[in-house]
Amino acid sequence: MYMELLLSYLLYWGILAVLTIYLLIKYRRARHES
């Protein structure tokens, strides 16, 4: 049960962190190119 709980939290916050980093990298690249 605690494994499911841990996985759920890691998944939710992990996806948000990955999405943020992905967008920040894209933003930096877009600014650098423009």
Partner 1 sequence: MEMWRILGVAVLPLCLVSVYLSFISPPPIEFGAAAPPDVYRILYVHVPPAWISYLSMGFSLVSSIVYLARRSVKADAIALSSMRIGLPLSWVAIVTGSLWANITWGEYWSWDPRETTTLILALAFTGYFALRWSIPDIERKRRVSAMYAIASFITVPLSYYSAILWRTLHPIVITHGEIALAPHTGLILMINLATALLIFLTLLYLSYKVEIAGGKQ
The site string for partner 1 over 5-24 (x = CB under 8 A, - otherwise) reads: x-xxx-xxx-xx--xx--xx
Separation of CA 26 from chain center? 13
Number of chain positions touching partner 1 (CB under 8 A): 22
How far apart are the C-alpha atoms of 34 and 27, rounded to whole Å? 11
How far apart are the C-alpha atoms of 31 and 15, rounded to whole Å? 24
CB of 6 to partner 1, least distance (A): 10
Task: Using CB under 8 A, list all residues that contact partner 1.
Answer: 1-2, 4-5, 7-9, 11-13, 15-16, 19-20, 23-24, 26-27, 30-31, 33-34
